[in-house]
Structures are given as C-alpha cells and as structure tokens.
Structure 1
Amino acid sequence: MTAFAPDLSVTTERLVLRRFAPGDESRIREVVGARVRFLPPNAPGHRSGISQWLAHGVHELHRSGQGVHLAMEAEGLIVGAVSLYKTLWGAGTTEVGYGVHPLHRGRGYAPEAVRGLAARVFATTTLHRIELRANLDNTASLRVAEKAGFVREGVLRAAGTNADGPCDLVVFGLLRTDRA
C-alpha cells in the first residue's frame, strides 16, 4: 500500500478521527474567527478561505500520498486535529502531529488520538515507523508522546523555530514492533 485509505477514520474510546468535510464549515468558521490555533498548518487564516480549504486544501496532503489531516471529534465537536505527514512509503516512515483546541486541552485527547491513529496505521499499511517531534520546552507535547507510547530517541539542536528563533526538537519514535 502506498497511500492512506480515502475513507480513513478511527474510533477510540472518546474520539472519532475523520476526514474534514464541508459540514464542518460553521465550526471551522468559529475557530478561525477566534484566531485559535490547532488546525493543520495549511488551514486558512481568514473565514473567506474556509469553504475552499474544506473542499480541497485540507485534502491536498492525502491526494499527494504523503499524509492525511483528520478532525478530532468528541461529543459532536471538533476538539482538535491529528495529521500524518512526511510519509515516505519506500522507507516505511511517517510523522504524526496534532493540535487540540485550548478549551479542550488537558483531557487526554491528544495521546488518545495519536495512539488510535498509530494502531490503525500499523494495522492497515506497510509503514513500520512513526515519528513525533516536539519543541524541547513544550512539556505538554513531550507528555503526549510519552503517554502515546513513543520512545524518546534524542534531541536535534536548533532544528525547529519558534517566535524566539531556532529551538531544539525532541525526536520520538514508535515502531511496529513496539506495539507487539
């Protein structure tokens, strides 16, 4: 297999991870209007781009075969997003990223989503490694990686950037064999 399933969805104990759809427009409109940051990197910064993004932009990564963006839904609300990207099918690797709406943080949604998505990836693809990278000073993301079962592998010095400039990134990995 060299692509993620077009109908990829994952159900965990409290979440449904699913593709973004045109029906999400009103919720995404609220999020963009409030300038809340948790959507995938290519999300529109202005309400006028939401329809186009939901119809096409959010699905470009999937069409390219390099990943997929999924809405993280709990109790009928989009509470976050989780993505697979930088997928190298020949090498058998992908990277996972996520964001949770500030009003829904601290409830364990991110590790639950990452665990569920990782389990689905290993069950339905030939990929054997999922990476997760987090800023060294982002303790919440470091905890997510650990709670999701990822192994801390090292620090990449000045490999990321934030508002203050270059920052160190912690690299975590999860192997198919770790799940056994």
Structure 2
Amino acid sequence: MSGHVAVRRFPTLTVSTPRAEVRPLAPADAKAVGEIFADKLTQRWLPLPEESGRIDAFAWCTEMAQERRDSGAGDHYGVLRREDERLVGCLWTKRTDWGSRVTEICYAIAPEARGFGLAAEAVDAVAIALILEHGFQRVELRVAPGNTASRRVAEKAGFTYEGLLRNAGYVDGGRVDLEVWSFVAADLH
C-alpha cells in the first residue's frame, strides 16, 4: 500500500431541460458571467466575504473551473435559456466528498431571468444527473436565511429542508447561519 490516494476528477456534465441547457462554461461566457456576478442582489448572497472583491469572470470560466474539476472538488456551469440561447445563470458544485458521494450546488441567475423557475429547473436536472449518471448519493443546497428566492428554488427543485447550521457561512454582509436542503438518491423512487 503506497498511502497515495487517487483524486477523482469531477464528471463532465451537460443536461437539457425543456427550457434550459446546463453545460460547462467556456471562455466566451466570461462577459455574461461577469454581468451575473456584478448584480447587486447576486452579490448580497454570494458565499464570499466582502473583502474578497469581485469575481474575475474569465478566470471563473477557465482556470478556476479547470482547477475545481481536476481536483475533484466540483465544476462551474452555465445555464442557457433555450428560447434565445443566452447564458442567464451560473451553477457550480463544490465541497464534493467522493467517499460519501456528496456534493453541494450553488447558483446565481441574471436579473432578467429570475422568477421564471429556470434556477429550480437547472438545479433539479443537475442533481438528478449527478445521482443517476454519476453515482452521487446526496446533493446539498445551503441557503442563507432571508434569501427567500433561493429557498423557493430548493423547494421547487424537490429538495428537503433538513435544518440550520449555525454561523456556518458568510455572505457580503458577514457571517450567517445556513439552511441545509438535500436531494438524495431515495428521492428518485
């Protein structure tokens, strides 16, 4: 036994729904990604401390996504609206635990695409693909209390509320509790 642990590479994933396509981000997506992350409401709920500054959209679409994929930690995706092929959302996976087959999904939707159920549709499709096609057993969402839009996404995507992690996260305004929502393999039966 060498004591060496092989790192799992996060699976390449593209999923289609009636109204959206979720696919890995590409360098050409950087402008739209930058606009999504620059939105004030998105910034309010991003799990980034205020002092971290703005997200470099080109790096998010290229080397940051590649790093996350290669390390096995997750991936970065774009949500394209079918009706006009516009990139209207970002979805990313993180905190992947290969031993437990668990990962977390995060998302941000452009202001003009909010309120139409695209986030829930994309999150649901990715969660199902991760479970059915890639053997994950649990997919989590973590939502800051007060982010009612994100809570609605979790509910509409079929996730189950499990409880509150006290002082477990941070958003633009500082430390916050986080609601934990889950979708597990048994939810598909």
Same fold (TM over 0.5): yes
The residue number in structure 1 matching 2:61 is: 54
Moved runs in structure 1, 4+ residues, more than 4 A? Answer: 37-42, 49-53
In structure 2, the residue matched to 1:176 is: 185
SS at match of 1:159: strand
Please list every run of 5 or more consecutive structure 2 residues that lacks an aligned counterpart in the other structure: 1-6
Using CA pairs below 8 Å that are at least 6 residues apart, which structure has the higher relative contact order? 2
The match for 1:13 among 18, 21, 24 is 18
SS of the equivalent of 1:174 reads strand
1:152-167 map, 5 Å: 152-167=161-176
Q: Select the residue among 142, 148, 153 that pairs with 1:133.
A: 142
Counterpart of 2:140, as a letter, is: E
Residue 78 of structure 1 aligns to a residue whose secondary structure is strand
Give structure 1 stretches of 5+ with no counterpart.
Answer: none
Secondary structure (helix, strand or coil) at the match of 1:3 reads coil
How many residues were matched structurally? Answer: 174
- Change in 2 beyond 3 A, CA 1:55/1:166: closer
SS in 2 for 1:116: helix
Q: Kindly provide the CA deviation profile for residues 128-173 of structure 1, in whole angstroms up to 9, marking residues without a partner as x.
A: 0111110111111111111111111011122222344332211111
- Cα offset, 1:25, TM superposition: 3.8
Q: TM-score, normalised by structure 2?
A: 0.81
In 2, Cα distance between equivalents of 1:51 and 1:71: 13
> Is structure 2 residue 156 aligned with structure 1 residue 151?
no
* RMSD between superposed Cα atoms in Å: 2.6
Within 1, Cα distance between the matches of 2:142 and 2:85?
29
Moved more, 110-119 or 160-169: 160-169
Deviation string, structure 1 residues 26-75 (Cα, Å, up to 9, x no partner): 4346x17x932659879x937xx554543322322111111111001112
- 2:185 and 2:117 mapped to 1: Cα distance? 23
The within-5 A match list for 1:111-130 is 111-130=120-139
Q: Give identity over the alignment, percent.
A: 34
Partner in structure 1 of residue 94 of structure 2: 85
Letter in 1 for 2:137: H
